[in-house]
Structure 1
Amino acid sequence: MNTSSTHFRLAHKIYDEAFKPSQAPSCNLYLYVSPKFIRVGVADMSRNKFVALEDYELISVFTPVQLSEQLSLIAEGSSLLQDHRWQTVRVSISNQHFTLVPETLFDPAHQSDYLRLHSEFSSQEDVVLNYKHNGLEAVNIFAVEGVVYRMVQSLFPERPVQFVHLTSTLIGSVMHQFGPNTERNLAIYVERNYVTVLVVSDQGLEFCNIFHYLSPEDFIYYIIFVMQEQKMNPEQGTITVWGDITHDSSLFSILQKYIRHVRFGKKPIDVEYSYKFNDLFEHRYFEIYSLHFCE
């Protein structure tokens, strides 16, 4: 019996009427884990269609141990996280402990050394993993807090769990969304206190980083900084926005103040969604939908 205190609330729960637990072996389960949210999605692979979503907002969660405790509590009440029969279990980890290296330079024996050059992670407590981007000829090396890694593994003892970093899910999905012949584009994914900034073009991925912000002024500073470094004109370029941001938020207002063309992104293409998802903003839950396009 878990004696931890509950520090989460269920923000959304969506189930297609046609989805039944018995269908789990033909479905993929996608899990997004961050210090602010834990989200669960289900895609019916036989129909290539999202059929379920659970969104849990975390409250006063500050450490990896607390995060793992809340994940355990959520799993106790979620039938999705109690089922072990999924075709594939894929987990997206949100943190700043990642780096991208060319595939030709990647040596698995030294992946911790590569990551240590760009991130302060705990070699004793964290687990270092990697994800290969076949289309980019690059490898994303990232760290997962050990207690979170072990908790996720314990939820699915009968299935191999594929871990990917949030940036990998976003890179794959954004490039899929824009297509191979795209002009140079800047895309951002907004989390609470974090923003991921991507620059993509017909040449592939040109820039990717995650910035921590505490105010709208911090938020816009990092975006303008990237645009300047990448020689993109705020008066001419278009920014596409996904994530936890709304039309009437201070973050969106400051984007519109400094950048002429700002638009919200759409749900990923080439996958269908239950009509139950129609009431959600198109730009929300991009991190869950994007897991569908990982390999």
Structure 2
Amino acid sequence: MNTINTHYRLSHRIQDEAFSLEQAAQCNLYIALSQKAIRLAVANAERNKFVVLEDYELITVFSPLQVAEQLRLIAQENELLQEQNWKLVRVSVSNQHFTLVPETLYDPAYQQEYLKLHSDFNPAQDKVLSYRHSVLEAINIFAMDGALHQALVDLYPERPAQVVHLTSSLIRSMLHQTPRTNPRSMYAFVERNYVTLLVIGPGGLEFCNIFHYVSPEDFIYYIIFIMQEQKMNPEQETITVWGDITHDSSLFNILQKYIRQIKLGKKPADADYSYKFHDMFEHRYFELYSLNLCE
């Protein structure tokens, strides 16, 4: 008997009328996994166009094992996750267990050792993976919970999903759409209880890290602290923000108190989007859209 309880709800779903699962072989399935949400998107690879988006909010889920359980439950009733004929399945995992290592120093035999210097992941429980950033000439080494990795293996046994860390998709997307002529700037991706901060200058990526916050005061503390560490002036800088934040939220209000200029980011311009996507805030679901730019 299945004793696992359902702790999710479908909070948002859009689908272009022209899409059907018969087109799966010409489409990519993107999955974004975090402790607060499981999000899916379908992009027609031939037309480079997003046609489906589904957002499952996770409720009273406190561990990666529970995320894995909810993913399995969603898959039991979700045709997108059951479909096996996708051209590609790419998954991003959100956690604080990652590090960037210069390619010239990287030896795959020492992945765990590199990661241990920056993360308290559990080698006995977690799966260590990597992603090569050709533009950065660096390797993103990261860990994901073993149970969550196994859930993905079970979902796609014949053609394994490509797994990347959230930071890799954000770095790829932000570097791609930030002109080299832009001044040095800070970028933020907001999740519930986590914020990823990046600093990008004319020479490329200069800083990237993920911070856990409980209150708006925690949230702004990390932003101001990193700005000061990076010799940036909150009174003069513009911060561009994506993710789970709205104009009327406490997070946005406290940002306005301390940062001179706040700009909400836009969807990556390299893809097309079904007209059904036009009514959504441009800065939402950036982590899903950014998976389209990974290699």
Which range, TM-score by smaller chain? over 0.9
CA apart distance, 1:93: 0.3
Q: In the alignment, which residue of structure 2 is the partner of 1:211?
A: 211
In the aligned structure 1, how far is the partner of 2:181 from the partner of 2:137?
A: 18
In the aligned structure 2, how far is the partner of 1:140 from the partner of 1:165?
A: 8
Q: In the alignment, which residue of structure 1 is the partner of 2:125?
A: 125
CA apart distance, 1:235: 1.2
In the aligned structure 1, how far is the partner of 2:62 from the partner of 2:140?
A: 25
1:1-295 correspondence to structure 2 within 5 Å: 2-295=2-295
Q: Secondary structure at the match of 2:121?
A: coil
Give the root-mean-square deviation of aligned CA atoms.
0.9
TM-score by length of 2: 0.98
Q: Secondary structure at the match of 2:110?
A: helix
Q: Secondary structure at the match of 1:18?
A: coil
Equivalent AA in structure 2 for residue 150 of structure 1: Q
Q: Secondary structure at the match of 1:288?
A: helix
CA apart distance, 1:78: 1.0
Equivalent AA in structure 2 for residue 162 of structure 1: Q
CA apart distance, 1:150: 0.4
Q: Secondary structure at the match of 2:24?
A: helix
Contact 1:28 1:89 (8 Å CA) reproduced: yes
Q: Secondary structure at the match of 2:25?
A: helix
In the aligned structure 1, how far is the partner of 2:180 from the partner of 2:172?
A: 12
In the aligned structure 1, how far is the partner of 2:82 from the partner of 2:42?
A: 13
In the aligned structure 1, how far is the partner of 2:77 from the partner of 2:279?
A: 24
Q: Secondary structure at the match of 2:123?
A: coil
In the aligned structure 1, how far is the partner of 2:80 from the partner of 2:270?
A: 24
Equivalent AA in structure 1 for residue 177 of structure 2: Q
In the aligned structure 1, how far is the partner of 2:182 from the partner of 2:106?
A: 28
What 5-or-longer segments of structure 2 have no aligned partner? none
CA apart distance, 1:151: 0.1
In the aligned structure 1, how far is the partner of 2:232 from the partner of 2:198?
A: 12
Contact 1:240 1:262 (8 Å CA) reproduced: yes
CA apart distance, 1:283: 0.2
CA apart distance, 1:2: 4.3
CA apart distance, 1:160: 2.3
What is the identity percentage for the equivalent residue pairs of Structure 1 and Structure 2? Answer: 65
Contact 1:264 1:283 (8 Å CA) reproduced: yes
CA apart distance, 1:140: 0.4
In the aligned structure 2, how far is the partner of 1:160 from the partner of 1:146?
A: 15
In the aligned structure 1, how far is the partner of 2:277 from the partner of 2:159?
A: 28
Which stretch shifts more, 151-160 or 24-33?
151-160
CA apart distance, 1:181: 2.7
Count, aligned residues: 295
Equivalent AA in structure 2 for residue 286 of structure 1: F
CA apart distance, 1:146: 0.1
Contact 1:2 1:73 (8 Å CA) reproduced: no
What 5-or-longer segments of structure 1 have no aligned partner? none
CA apart distance, 1:202: 1.6
Contact 1:101 1:138 (8 Å CA) reproduced: yes
Q: Secondary structure at the match of 1:53?
A: strand
